[in-house]
Amino acid sequence: MDAVAEEMRLRRPVGGIGTPRREADVPEFVQGITDGRATGQPILIKIANGNTDGSKYAAFYDTPRPGHADLPALLKFPDHDLSGSGQFSGRLTAAIVAAGAVAKQIIAEKGVSVDAFTRSVGEVADGSVRTAAEARGSRAFATRACTQRLDDAMRDHIERVGASRDSVGGTVECIVSGLPIGFGGIWFEALDAELAHAMFGIPACKGVEFGDGFELAAMRGSQSNDAYRMDGGRIVTASNHMGGIVGGMCDGAPVVLRVAFKPTPSIGVEQRTINLRTGTDDTVTVEGRHDPCIVPRAVAVVEAMAALTVADQIARGFRWDWIL
Ligand SMILES: Cc1cc2nc3c(=O)[nH]c(=O)nc-3n(C[C@H](O)[C@H](O)[C@H](O)COP(=O)(O)O)c2cc1C
């Protein structure tokens, strides 16, 4: 329960760089956990929405927000309730983080850990290769950057963008350590396919890449292949351009993936939209409580999604036998 509380803390908004909306975010374990231990029943977690204000969403029935889900949701579901953005709200990720905190404890028993950090916010980017330990160290910083200097620069950038009533995106990098060679699946069940599937389920995710990702497209094979070598009787890779996955299975290197988040769609800058009632062009300006940058809070969500994906593949028996 302490581990769950810690993960929930990391998803909570921080003043200046997150939404001013405050929620207690205390998960209630309705079923499946007794005295801090899993009973074997399905675990049912409930998280209350205490601090809501639906009034700020009334205008979007007529003038849907560009970049948010309002327009397709209203046309597809005529009775759609827009208050709080409903099922399209980042609020839904609170439950993912609580479930992920349980999954992390399951995979830890197999020696597997998941650590993520903020790689970039807008034009402020961390240019260093980071270890899992450094990623874990980002828990000390509000932006989830790896160093104080980067935390200051990212915070400053978010605050400046927020002060101009605008928003900014960025990238989260995630390292999964401890998976044995061969862990994963093939085709639709490939480890990279299932991780990407889970990451795209996070609202505002617009890209996922493994290892050198899109940069691989400009390399030669002689540059991109990760050479194998023996290290004290163990097979290791000399580099990690592939992000630890070949053929949908682990190659023994840490799994490294990056998730791109777009700028928060709800912004206080006037934007062009249409009016669904009058059938004319119109404008919309979003008031209310929104994150100027989703990225710092999304780090905990990315970790949770990765832990859930790995725990799910373990549960489905995706070769856990250590072959080396
Ligand atoms: C942790 C988190 C917080 C978010 N906060 C906001 C927010 O305050 N305002 C907003 O408009 N969108 C926010 N979003 C993003 C929207 O939920 C998302 O952009 C929207 O549902 C449209 O989906 P899409 O961007 O995946 O296409 C947040 C997302 C996450 C993961």
CATH of residue 244's domain is: 3.60.150.10
In the numeric block, the tokens 């795209």 are attached to: 200
The torsion angle over the Cα atoms of residues 293, 20, 305 and 89, rounded to 10 degrees, is -90
How far apart CA 101 and CA 7 sit, in angstroms, is 6
Residue 186 lies in a domain: yes
Which has the closest alpha carbon to 209: 107, 308, 310, 119?
119
**Which of 35-49, 156-170, 244-258, 267-281 is predicted least confidently?**
35-49
Is residue 274 assigned to a domain? Answer: yes
Give me ligand 1 centre to Cα 204, in Å: 5
* 97 Cα: distance to centroid of ligand 1 (angstroms): 15
Q: Structure tokens of 253?
A: 């290197």
Please tell me the predicted confidence (pLDDT) of residue 321: 55
What confidence tier does 323 reach under pLDDT thresholds 50, 70, 90?
very low
- Is residue 223 included in any domain, yes or no? yes
Query: Is 302 touching ligand 1 by the criterion CB < 6 Å?
Result: no
Q: Provide the whole-model pTM.
A: 0.96
The confidence score (pLDDT) of residue 322 equals 46
Neighbour count for residue 92 (Cβ, 10 Å): 16
Contact between 234 and 324 under an 8 Å Cβ cutoff? The reply is yes
In the numeric block, which tokens belong to residue 136?
């874990």
In ligand 1, which atom is closest to the CA atom of 290?
8
Range of lowest pLDDT (3-12, 133-142, 153-162): 3-12
Q: Is residue 127 part of a domain?
A: yes
Is the Cβ atom of 144 under 6 angstroms away from ligand 1? Answer: no
Residue 320 inside a domain? The answer is no
Which residue range forms the structural domain that includes residue 266? 2-315
> Closest Cα to atom 24, ligand 1: which residue?
204
Residue 175 Cβ < 6 Å to ligand 1: no
**3-class secondary-structure state, position 311:** helix
Atom of ligand 1 nearest to the CA of 289: 8
Q: What is the mean pLDDT of residues 228-238?
A: 96
How many domains would you assign to the chain? 1
- Residue minimizing CA distance to atom 27 of ligand 1: 204
- Interval between CA 90 and ligand 1 midpoint (Å): 5
Nearest atom of ligand 1 to the alpha carbon of 89: 17
pLDDT digits 0-9 by tens, 274-307: 999 999 999 999 987 789 999 999 999 999 999 9
Are 25 and 92 within 8 A, CB to CB? no
Mean pLDDT of 169-177: 98
Q: How far, in Å, is the centroid of ligand 1 from the Cα of 280?
A: 27
Question: Looking at the domain assignment, is residue 324 inside a domain?
Answer: no
Give the mutation target among 51, 85, 92 for probing the ligand 1 site: most ligand atoms within 8 A of CB.
85
CA distance 115 to 142: 15
Ligand 1 contact, 263 CB (< 6 A) = no
Average pLDDT over residues 107-124: 96
Contacts of 137 (CB under 8 A, 6+ apart): 146
pLDDT interval class at 244 (50, 70, 90): very high
CB 292 near ligand 1, within 6 Å: no
Give residue 15 CA to ligand 1 midpoint distance, Å.
18
Least confident of 42-51, 138-147, 215-224: 42-51
Which atom of ligand 1 sits closest to the CA of residue 200?
26
321 domain residue, yes or no: no
In a domain? residue 232: yes
Could you give the CA distance from residue 262 to residue 249 in angstroms, rounded to a whole number? Answer: 29
Question: How far does residue 153's CA lie from ligand 1's centre (Å)?
Answer: 23
